Copies of this chain bind each other. A is one copy, B any other.
Amino acid sequence: MVKRSGSPAIEHAVLVTGFEPFGGATTNPSECVARALDGRTIVGRSVVAAVLPCVFGDARRALVRAIDRVRPELVVCVGEAGGRAEISVERVAINIDDARIPDNAGAQPIDRLIVTGGPVGYWSSLPIKAIVSALDAEKIAATVSQSAGTFVCNHIFYALMHALRDRPGVRGGFVHVPYLPEQVIGRPGIPSMALARTTRALEIVIATSLATRADAVIVGGATH
């Protein structure tokens, strides 16, 4: 995990972030998967995890601090997408905070720019099609997603890509993961994915990102 002390940067590191629980929940699969990956070695790189507060602004500052400390070559931010059945590899972050529910500090910004003067959107710099293809090959349900929403997940995704503009050679992106099975007990019809499977999926996301420079040309769009 990222420590607050002034430890030196790790060579060839990958930073993975998750979020603390929000909206009254006691668990967030993105935190669980980040903790599960912390300290692992993937394709010769050390994975360092950070858990971000689910708070507009604070999350972003914590992310930038973690990047500055870890100096990763790759950053994968992870968030919960309750109700989705598959790993969602996000394509684009948009420059808007528009909260349907309050964040963990009680703030609920509506239609506020994340970065004044920033572009409308940033593309993920992960090889999103190659990642979905690699997950398919391991029989883990996955898709390219065209929207990361407008809550703290999109906020951190946009902030990440904005921060990486000044860090050439560092790539990054965002992945949404389903609920854990324990989150859907008593809620028929809501899909979930076991933690071991989600963790394996993120390993594949990281390994594929490290191994792939130019993304694959593979069908993966949405008609609407």
**Is A194 in contact with B194, judged by CB distance below 8 angstroms?**
yes
In the complex, the answer to whether B110 meets A184 with C-beta atoms within 8 Å is no
A11-B178 Cα distance, complex, nearest whole Å: 44
Contacts of A88 in B (CB 8 A): 224
Question: With the chains together, A118 CA to B222 CA distance in Å?
Answer: 21
Given contacts A141-B184, A219-B110, contact A224 B100 (CB under 8 A): no
Q: How many residues on the A side are at the interface (Cβ–Cβ under 8 A)?
A: 63
Complex CA gap A153/B150 in Å reads 21
Closest to A215 in B: B111
Judged by a CB distance under 8 angstroms, whether A101 is at the interface is yes
CA distance A149 to B114 in the complex (A): 23
Contact A220 B100 (CB under 8 A): yes
* A223-B151, A224-B149 known; A185-B217 Cβ under 8 A: no
In the complex, whether A20 has a CB less than 8 A from a CB of chain B is no
Residues of B near A141 (CB, < 8 A) are 181, 184-185, 187-188, 190, 192
A60 at interface by CB-CB < 8 Å: no
Determine the distance from Cα of A197 to Cα of B197 in the docked complex, in whole angstroms: 11
Q: Which of A31-39, A44-52, A68-76, A77-85 contacts B (4 or more CB under 8 A)?
A: A77-85
Task: List the B side residues contacting A99 at CB < 8 Å.
Answer: 219, 221
Given A85-B85, A100-B219: A153 touches B111 (CB 8 Å cut-off): no
The reply on A136 being an interface residue by CB < 8 A is yes
Q: How long is the Cα–Cα vector from A224 to B90 in the complex, in angstroms?
A: 10
Give CA–CA (A98, B108) in the complex, Å: 33
**Chain A residues within 8 Å of B, Cβ to Cβ:** 23, 79-82, 84-86, 88, 91-92, 94, 96-101, 108, 110-111, 119-123, 129, 136, 139-141, 143-144, 146-151, 153, 176, 181-182, 184-192, 194, 197, 215, 217-224
What are 11 sample pairs from A and B whose C-beta atoms fall under 8 A apart?
A81-B224, A85-B85, A86-B184, A86-B189, A94-B146, A99-B219, A108-B219, A141-B188, A141-B192, A143-B188, A146-B147
